[in-house]
Chains A and B, each alone.
Chain A
Amino acid sequence: MPRTRKAVASLLTLLMAVLGCARKLPQEALQLTPESLRLRQLQTRRFESKDEKALLAAGAAVLQDLGFTLDQSETGLGVIVASKDRSAVETAQVMGSIFLALVAGVSVPWDEKQKIRSSLITRPAGPDSNNTFVRVTFQRIVWNTQGQVSKTEPLDEPQFYQEFFERLSKAVFLHAHEL
């Protein structure tokens, strides 16, 4: 038993050392990459409408349908910001944590709650265009049972965006064109 403890202890030490040094902003953090373009296509749809306000209102309604509450909006710039707080408990993680506690005698916290954030932006395609672009983005912060932030990440799964735009498309009775 003490052997396992030692192993866990040294692992923790290493982890802390690594985390301690990972405090600098990564060099490529603000670099545009092919990945950023893929994400833009994933997160953006074109609607054949000039009515930015109607698209924004429909977007707000869809976000509400999905359980988001609106935090901020600026219609003049086509901005809606929304968020929702939900549970982040995953059975597998809890089981793993209990297992570790039994075997190694250390208590490892598991993810408890999360805040999902979203911004929805509308943008006229051009001054003479009849099209409007809508781009929505999601991200989340997860806290563990100790109240510490355990995850900060973008939510990039294609199905989130597909479903969102399907709903938006139905709400405005317009087809959502992919880029």
Chain B
Amino acid sequence: MLMNCSSSIQTLKLPVLLAVTIVLAGCGTSRKELLATSQSQLQLRSIQTRSFDTTDREKALRTIIATMQDLGFVIDNANQTLGSVSGTKLDNFQLRMTATVRPKGTTQLLVRANMQFNLSEVDDPEPYQQFFAALGRAMFLEAHMEEGSGEGTEAGGPKGASASATEGVAKQSKGATAEKASGIVEPKPLAIPQEVAVSGAITGVPDLKSIAGTWSGRIEFGPKRRATTGDGPLTMTIKEDGTYDAVSPNRSKGNVQVVSGKYQLMLGGEIFTLALEHRAGKRILKGSNYDSSLLCELTQEKEFEKPGTK
């Protein structure tokens, strides 16, 4: 690709043929196409979209720009009227991204991002998860910064954010109780990314009732560990309608979805697929995120109290 092959093609017929064969066989691009078609539009949209509990459009756009800069993008284009930001990251590859912001109802904003890597669309969930995890953290920090703006302006802004972006890792793993004790404001619902609720997908599924209740356990690094953060205790309450509220120690809220007999939900910016097991008289929800880099195991503490039970 980078080298000039055209002039040497005469002398290199065999090697070139070999290379093409290796490329075709080794990368399995045709296989990937198969996967791409199996991924529904709905799934892709939910991978590319998050809602945030804020209505401040300008701040959301500015936070998107700052997050993209943090991630190494040079901004190509921004439009306040349209609510769009585009940028390009060059790092021996070309990654182009557009994020748009639009209102969702009267209390939320919807952020949709789509990416293009070299010459193809990015439909892998991971880059989007990474982007929204960084954006969620930045939006969340912003909220904190505003609250703490009385105590000196110098500390607010990017410096505070920069400290928290990696050191926040340490802070997060101390657990929610430590956060409360140290006077750091408990994560409030404001601007925590939520998975977009896919309406209709959860109603009328009897299985959701069977996992209603309070669960506790841990998220741990799996065999394919890639993240530096993410492990720690987790407690979660699931209601009968499938809505959940988890603290890990970051707060995640949303709807549990049933996907081919398993439960899918979003914890700390990652989509987990969990299965219900019975072990030694205990009910256990066990599973991992999509590439098994994070594992989750939860034991049921108590079942959801409903009026009609016994």
Which A residues form the contact surface with B (CB < 8 A)? 5, 8-10, 12-13, 15-17, 19-21, 23-34, 36-37, 39-41, 43-44, 46, 71-72, 74, 76-79, 81, 105-109, 117-119, 121, 123, 125-131, 133, 135, 137-141, 144, 146, 148-154, 179
Given A32-B134, A152-B92, A152-B93: A12 and B77 within 8 A (CB)? no
Answer yes or no: B2 CB below 8 A from chain A CBs. yes
Given A10-B15, A20-B19, A32-B165: A131 and B153 within 8 A (CB)? yes
Provide the bound-state CA to CA distance between A144 and B74, in Å: 22
Instruction: Collect the chain A residues with CB atoms within 8 Å of residue B122's CB.
Output: 25
Are B79 and A74 interface neighbours, CB within 8 A? Answer: yes
Provide the bound-state CA to CA distance between A130 and B149, in Å: 11
Q: Which 9 A-B pairs have the closest CB atoms?
A: A20-B23, A129-B153, A119-B75, A152-B90, A30-B130, A16-B19, A125-B157, A13-B15, A76-B80
Which of B7, B69, B70, B149 is A127 in contact with, Cβ under 8 Å? Answer: B149
Nearest Cβ in chain B — how far from A79, in angstroms?
4
Provide the bound-state CA to CA distance between A131 and B156, in Å: 10
Given A129-B149, A139-B88, A152-B90: A13 and B23 within 8 A (CB)? no
* Sampled A-B contacts (21; CB under 8 Å): A9-B8, A9-B11, A12-B12, A12-B19, A15-B3, A17-B26, A21-B27, A29-B95, A32-B70, A33-B166, A40-B162, A117-B74, A121-B66, A123-B66, A126-B149, A127-B146, A129-B157, A131-B157, A137-B69, A148-B4, A154-B91
Given A121-B65, A127-B149: A133 and B134 within 8 A (CB)? no
Answer yes or no: B170 CB below 8 A from chain A CBs. no
Which of B7, B71, B94 is A36 in contact with, Cβ under 8 Å? Answer: B71
Are B19 and A23 interface neighbours, CB within 8 A? Answer: no
Given A121-B65, A126-B146, A150-B2: A13 and B130 within 8 A (CB)? no
Q: Which of B4, B20, B149, B226 has the most CB of A within 10 A?
A: B4
Instruction: Collect the chain B residues with CB atoms within 8 Å of residue A34's CB.
Output: 166
Nearest Cβ in chain A — how far from B165, in angstroms?
5
Nearest Cβ in chain B — how far from A104, in angstroms?
9
Given A32-B134, A125-B153, A126-B145: A13 and B16 within 8 A (CB)? yes
Dominant SS at the B interface? Answer: mixed
Are A5 and B166 interface neighbours, CB within 8 A? Answer: no
Instruction: Collect the chain A residues with CB atoms within 8 Å of residue B153's CB.
Output: 125-126, 128-131
Are A140 and B90 interface neighbours, CB within 8 A? Answer: yes
Answer yes or no: B154 CB below 8 A from chain A CBs. yes
Instruction: Collect the chain B residues with CB atoms within 8 Å of residue A13's CB.
Output: 12, 15-16, 18-19, 22
Instruction: Collect the chain A residues with CB atoms within 8 Å of residue B277's CB.
Output: none
Are B4 and A9 interface neighbours, CB within 8 A? Answer: no
Are A131 and B154 interface neighbours, CB within 8 A? Answer: yes
Dominant SS at the A interface? Answer: mixed
Which B residues form the contact surface with A (CB < 8 A)? 1-8, 11-12, 15-16, 18-20, 22-23, 26-27, 29, 58, 61-62, 65-66, 69-80, 85, 87-95, 115, 117-118, 120, 122, 124, 126-127, 130-131, 134, 145-146, 149-150, 153-154, 156-159, 162, 165-166, 226-227
Q: Which of A30, A108, A138 has the most CB of B within 10 A?
A: A30
Given A121-B66, A133-B157: A77 and B58 within 8 A (CB)? yes
14 new A-B contacts at CB < 8 Å, known A30-B131, A78-B65, A135-B69: A5-B11, A12-B5, A25-B93, A25-B95, A29-B130, A30-B71, A37-B162, A46-B154, A76-B58, A77-B61, A109-B4, A125-B156, A126-B153, A153-B92
Are B134 and A30 interface neighbours, CB within 8 A? Answer: yes
Nearest Cβ in chain B — how far from A122, in angstroms?
10
Nearest Cβ in chain B — how far from A118, in angstroms?
7
Instruction: Collect the chain A residues with CB atoms within 8 Å of residue B95's CB.
Output: 25, 29
Provide the bound-state CA to CA distance between A71 and B74, in Å: 13
Are A9 and B15 interface neighbours, CB within 8 A? Answer: yes
Instruction: Collect the chain A residues with CB atoms within 8 Å of residue B158's CB.
Output: 40, 44, 123, 133, 135, 179
Provide the bound-state CA to CA distance between A81 and B78, in Å: 9
Are B166 and A152 interface neighbours, CB within 8 A? Answer: no
Nearest Cβ in chain B — how far from A114, in angstroms?
11
Instruction: Collect the chain A residues with CB atoms within 8 Å of residue B27's CB.
Output: 20-21, 23
